[in-house]
Structure formats: structure tokens, C-alpha cells
């Protein structure tokens, strides 16, 4: 792959991937480790993270990280500071699609996200992870990112977050746009832009790749792409040092905001 940062054995690059014990986050962390990064595998449940990290090899290590809990975030900062002294890459991948029971179908989740009937409690729960968690983790990790010579922040988004796409009457996903998950990704895109604008003068790039419609626990495995295929764009975005800041991309190229 062109324009990648490949970590050297003498000075390995350091990455943190949130929600990395399964799905797209797992694939991102695994591929970064294969490219020589020291990878912190963020997981709410430490034992799940340890199992995932063990499968990724010696370059990966689990770190307990619940993006909705400030003490957990603060402890992760302390640990990375103590062990590595800096962070070169932050991948904000942790996300939830709904606040219902595991196994909820995509159709049920879509129905629950309708603007006119959605539960505000569910909206708050999903946004707590998908939006506020990203802000909290990014703010907390900035002192470590500022110690890198070329830090990058990758916020894993979704094509569903594109207001331009969704507003097109021909958009096939239009019926799936609601105030719970989809709107959280629109908000995440706005958060991405805000950080990108503010941090550009510090040479910290902030970008938003979309995995596409990937079959993961997020959508009860009803997506059309395998997790390996779905993780390609976020992985490329994480590795490509020439990727422009404030970019929003999907598997087929740039996406409209």
C-alpha cells in the first residue's frame, strides 16, 4: 500500500483502537500490529480484549477502556503514558447501534430509531458511546498525540451519516435514517470536522472512514460485506500518511458530508 507509515523495529509507532475486541475494530488492530505498530486493544471487558490481543501477536496488548466512563479513559491515558510516552494513532472505533437486547434485528433497530417515536433514553445511550465517547477519548489522548511527530485520529463513521447522500430521494438507505444510530454518525462527522479544523495547525490529521455495510454484531450480522472487506477502508485510512485531514471516505472513495 502506498503512502503508509510502517513502524520500524527501533521506534515502533503506537496506536490505540477503541472497541477492538471484535468486528471492524479487531481487524483494524490486527492489521496495525501486522504493520509493526504497538497496538493497544481497547475493550470494555478486559478479558475479551486480552483474548483478542493474544490472537494478534506480541505487538498487541489489551487495555481496559469504556469510552463512556471517564475514570476508565483517564486510567488508559496513564497506562499509555507510562508504557510508551506518546500516541501516534488514535482509532475511535467503539460504537453501538441501539440500546436494545443483543440480537435485535436491523429492521427492529431501524423502527426504534424513527424520529417521531424513538426513545430519548435510547438516543442518549447510543450517542453517549458514538459521539460523547469520541470527544472524551480524543480530548483525553491529545496530550499523548501531541508528543507524536505526525499524529492521526481516525473516527470510524458510516455512509448513513452523510446528509447529502440521505437527502437524495434515490438513496437506498434513506429509510434507515433515524435519530438513534444514523444521526449519531452525522454528529460524529461534525465532531470530526471540528477537531480537524482546530488541530490542523498542529499537524494532527483527523479523518472519518466508513467501513461500508459490514456484517458485524452492530447490525446483527445482517450487513452485506465481510468484516475483512469492511475493515479495508478504515485500515487504509489509518495507515495512509498522505490522507488529507477532514476527509470522509468509504470503500468506493470520497463521501459527501
User: Looking at the domain assignment, is residue 212 inside a domain?
Assistant: yes
Q: Residue 220 above 70 pLDDT?
A: no
Local confidence band at 225 (pLDDT 50, 70, 90 cut-offs)? low
Q: What is the pLDDT of residue 173?
A: 87
Dist CA 64 CA 27 (whole Å): 18
pLDDT tens digits, one per residue of 70-99? 999 999 999 999 999 999 999 999 999 888
pTM above 0.85, yes or no: yes
Q: Residue 17 above 90 pLDDT?
A: yes
Local confidence band at 40 (pLDDT 50, 70, 90 cut-offs)? very high
What CATH number has the domain bearing residue 206?
Answer: 3.40.50.720
User: Which of 7-11, 97-101, 229-233 is the least confident region?
Assistant: 7-11
Question: Which active-site residues does the annotation give?
Answer: 181, 185
Residue with cell 450487513: 223
User: Looking at the domain assignment, is residue 167 inside a domain?
Assistant: no
Q: What is the pLDDT of residue 107?
A: 79
User: Looking at the domain assignment, is residue 139 inside a domain?
Assistant: yes
Q: How many domains does the chain have?
A: 1
Structural domain containing residue 221: 14-99+130-157+187-254
Dist CA 21 CA 113 (whole Å): 26
Candidates 213, 68, 242, 93; CA nearest to 157 is 93
Q: Are 232 and 27 in contact (CB under 8 A)?
A: no
Kind and range of the H or E run holding 177: none
User: Looking at the domain assignment, is residue 39 inside a domain?
Assistant: yes
Q: Are 41 and 18 in contact (CB under 8 A)?
A: no
User: Looking at the domain assignment, is residue 86 inside a domain?
Assistant: yes
Amino acid at each position: 500500500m502506498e503512502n503508509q507509515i510502517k513502524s520500524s523495529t527501533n521506534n515502533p509507532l503506537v496506536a490505540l483502537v477503541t472497541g477492538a475486541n471484535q468486528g471492524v475494530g479487531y481487524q483494524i488492530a490486527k492489521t496495525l500490529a501486522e504493520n509493526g505498530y504497538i497496538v493497544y486493544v481497547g475493550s470494555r471487558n478486559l478479558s475479551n480484549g486480552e483474548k483478542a490481543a493474544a490472537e494478534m501477536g506480541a505487538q498487541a496488548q489489551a487495555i481496559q477502556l469504556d469510552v463512556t466512563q471517564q475514570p476508565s479513559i483517564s486510567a488508559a491515558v496513564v497506562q499509555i503514558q507510562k508504557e510508551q510516552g506518546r500516541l501516534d494513532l488514535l482509532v475511535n472505533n467503539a460504537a453501538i447501534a441501539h440500546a436494545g437486547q443483543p440480537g435485535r434485528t436491523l429492521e427492529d433497530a431501524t423502527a426504534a430509531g424513527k424520529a417521531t417515536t424513538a426513545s430519548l433514553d435510547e438516543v442518549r445511550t447510543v450517542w453517549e458511546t458514538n459521539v460523547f465517547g469520541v470527544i472524551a477519548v480524543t480530548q483525553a489522548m491529545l496530550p499523548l498525540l501531541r508528543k507524536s511527530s505526525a499524529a492521526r485520529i481516525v473516527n470510524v463513521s458510516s455512509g448513513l451519516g452523510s446528509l447529502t447522500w440521505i437527502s437524495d430521494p434515490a438513496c437506498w438507505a434513506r429509510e434507515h435514517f433515524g435519530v438513534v444510530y444514523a444521526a449519531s454518525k452525522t454528529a460524529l462527522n461534525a465532531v470530526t470536522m471540528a477537531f480537524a479544523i482546530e488541530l490542523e495547525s498542529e499537524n494532527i490529521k483527523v479523518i472519518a472512514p466508513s467501513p461500508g455495510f459490514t456484517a458485524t454484531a452492530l447490525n446483527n450480522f445482517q450487513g452485506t460485506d465481510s468484516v475483512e472487506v469492511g475493515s479495508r477502508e478504515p485500515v487504509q485510512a489509518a495507515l495512509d500518511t498522505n490522507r488529507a485531514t477532514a476527509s470522509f471516505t468509504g470503500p468506493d472513495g470520497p463521501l459527501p458530508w
